[in-house]
Chains A and B, each alone.
Chain A
Amino acid sequence: MIDTKNLRAQIEKIDTLPTIPSVLKKLLSVIEDPKVSLNDIGSFISNDPVLTSRVIKVVNSPIYGFPGRISSVNQALILLGLNVVKGMLLGVSVFEAMQKTMAGLWEHSIGCAVTARIIATKKGIGDVEEVSVAGILHDIGKVALGLKFQEEYKALIKMSVDKGKLLMDSERELFFVTHADTGAWIGNRWNFPKNLLEIIEYHHKPQLSKNFAIQTAIIHIADILVRAKGFGFAGDYLIPTINPIAWQTLNLKDDEIKDILMEMEDSLTESSSFSLDDD
């Protein structure tokens, strides 16, 4: 058992998270291209939870003077500028251990972002990009735990798979808290905007989201739909039940669900061609 206070202190000490090796390879070719535009860099960053967390962290740092305001990657890039963004990307490091697990988590996160975007568009929710950022970041707490407790976390994932448990429940047994808490801690430490913090913290307990109930419900359901589709690997092979309050909040009609599942099919096939496996 790890004492929560100590755990929190360790998580909050994290300054940057590592990405996965295949992303780093592409990253270098992006940065070294002299003709690269902010738009190219933007779509590249939006497909990586760690790069997204880094950009959102930097743009919300007090240095720029508007902490906690920006939760969109494209807006962050224009406010930071090409030079800052390139410099920031140069400092990215890579996960040495658990590459396979992490590659699966990356796929799961991309899938969740894509699905969240589809649902938000369908429901006509104002800021589709913000919801998509929340989707890519929702499991950032798993990356933090994986970084700080590599061996323990690897064992935890194996145990969850072997015993047919949810990773979240195994986390609670070992740490007393889950990746939703560690994600919110680190986001809070990095001055993430309130909407992102609330969605990250409550994506498994959407009924607790007070100010951003709709967005939280979208991520909650997108997370589950992506698992149900068998896309990526979130750390276990179970499909959690959908929270009835989140279901009511979104009020999806049968034909809407059908449409969403069909669009997911197309978009996820497309994004899996953007392979994350390291050759």
Chain B
Amino acid sequence: MMIKNKTIAIITNNSVTKNILNQKLDSLYNALYFSKVHFALDYIYNSLPDLIILDTIEHDSISLSIVKDIKKDPIFAQIPIIYIVPLDYVLTQDDFAIFDDYIRYDYLEDEILPLTTLCLNRAERVVETNPLSRLPGNITIAKQIQNRLDRQEVFAVAYTDLDFFKPYNDKYGFSRGDEVLKMLGRLILNTVRQWQPQDSFVGHIGGDDFVFICSVDKVEGLAQEIIQTFRKIVPTFYDSEDRFKGYIDSIDREGVRKKFPIMGLSIGIATNQHRSFTHYGEIAEVASEMKKYAKVSGGDCYKIDKRKG
């Protein structure tokens, strides 16, 4: 049996619509039916469905203003809403603000399934992308690691972290800091793809934390190359006098003015070659531990976990 991992809240009190959706969607998705918008609210606010389908039968101003309110909260604004409308219906400015897609009754039977699938996939791509680097975020990272563990593949996970990023941000400001992060994202992505075009993965946890997954035999060379390339590129992100000096004056976490070196990269690596993990959190924790070890060893280096059992 297929695992239904997407949930759709469908709001309609039209039995014909309900029948069609039932036939087309229920075998692939977790579809829940509500006859009125306010009956669906409790469910929506408690369970965060992946998609809402709304029938125009509910096209009264109260229902619409409820739907509009759903879109006002950032957590729920990302849920795509498909609007089912009659053949002669003309979408209004209000509709454009609320809905993400629409379909006419006459095409429901043929088109609702592909429309739903496209809508769900699009939403997943948008939500799960870090706005800065456009790399996949935490949900995808967790899934990528967990799927490999479930398939009992042997692989390596590397967590990267910038050394002396905070003083850089403090001195040059956040937008300059963002430039460095965008550069680092491209650098990791393309270096990983160059070394291993197939079955590798790069994600962005947030801030200056990135993750990559690759095969065990490549991970050390790859980590080394990423560190070296970063070391070569990053000086151009400093003003020329700082670059020339080789350090910047900034303030540390205790508020003390200090000299900070040019940024470097610390990478922590964990693999399931010599020990087994069942949950992605376990292997992530080991990688993160190795990353801290790299940092206390002075940074600008990688550390790999070689413990057994």
Residues of A within 8 A of B (CB): 37-38, 64-66, 69-71, 75, 78-82, 193, 211
Contacts and interface: CB of A to CB of B under 8 A. Distances in A.
A79 B240 contact: no
B189 A69 contact: no
A69 B183 contact: yes
A70 B232 CA distance: 11
Contact of B240 (A65, A75, A81, A211): A211
- 7 closest A-B pairs by CB: A65-B182, A81-B190, A66-B179, A79-B186, A66-B183, A69-B236, A75-B233
**Centre residue among A66, A70, A80, A81 by max chain B CB count within 10 A:** A66
A193 B233 CA distance: 13
A70 B229 CA distance: 13
9 contacts: A65-B132, A66-B182, A69-B237, A71-B236, A75-B229, A79-B190, A80-B190, A193-B236, A211-B240
B191 A78 contact: yes
Contacts of B193: 81-82
Contact of A65 (B179, B189, B229): B179
A209 to B, nearest CB: 13
Interface string B261-273: 0000000000000
Nearest to B179: A66
B229 A78 contact: yes
A86 B196 CA distance: 18
Contacts of A81: 186, 189-190, 193-194
Nearest to A195: B240
A66 B233 CA distance: 12
Contacts, number: 48
Interface in B167-213: 178-180, 182-183, 186-187, 189-191, 193-194
A38 B183 contact: no
Interface residues of B, number: 19
A64 B189 contact: no
B12 to A, nearest CB: 42
Nearest to B176: A66
Contacts of A66: 179-180, 182-183, 237
Contact of A70 (B178, B236, B240): B236
A29 B172 CA distance: 44
Interface of B: 132, 178-180, 182-183, 186-187, 189-191, 193-194, 229, 232-233, 236-237, 240
Contacts of A37: 194
Contacts of A38: 194
A79 B232 CA distance: 13
B192 to A, nearest CB: 10
Which label, helix, strand, loop or mixed, suits the secondary structure of the A interface? loop
B174 to A, nearest CB: 13
Contacts of B183: 64-66, 69, 79
A37 B236 CA distance: 25
Given A65-B179, A66-B183, A78 B190 contact: yes
Contacts of A64: 182-183, 186
A117 B236 CA distance: 19
Contacts of A75: 229, 232-233
A243 B234 CA distance: 33
Nearest to B191: A78
B194 A82 contact: yes
**Centre residue among B183, B191, B229, B240 by max chain A CB count within 10 A:** B183
B210 to A, nearest CB: 14
B245 to A, nearest CB: 13
A211 B182 CA distance: 27
A149 B232 CA distance: 40
Nearest to B241: A211
**Centre residue among B178, B191, B194 by max chain A CB count within 10 A:** B194
Nearest to B180: A66
Nearest to A212: B240
A80 B187 CA distance: 8
Nearest to B190: A81
Nearest to B183: A66
A134 to B, nearest CB: 14
B236 A82 contact: no
A41 to B, nearest CB: 11
B217 to A, nearest CB: 19
Contacts of B191: 78
B1 to A, nearest CB: 38
**Centre residue among B229, B233, B237, B240 by max chain A CB count within 10 A:** B233
A70 B233 contact: yes
A89 to B, nearest CB: 16
Nearest to A130: B236
**Centre residue among A65, A80, A81, A193 by max chain B CB count within 10 A:** A65
Contacts of A78: 186-187, 190-191, 194, 229
A70 to B, nearest CB: 7
Nearest to B132: A65
B179 A69 contact: yes
Nearest to A79: B186
B190 to A, nearest CB: 4
Contacts of A79: 183, 186-187, 190, 233
Contacts of B236: 69-71, 193
A78 B193 CA distance: 10
A81 to B, nearest CB: 4
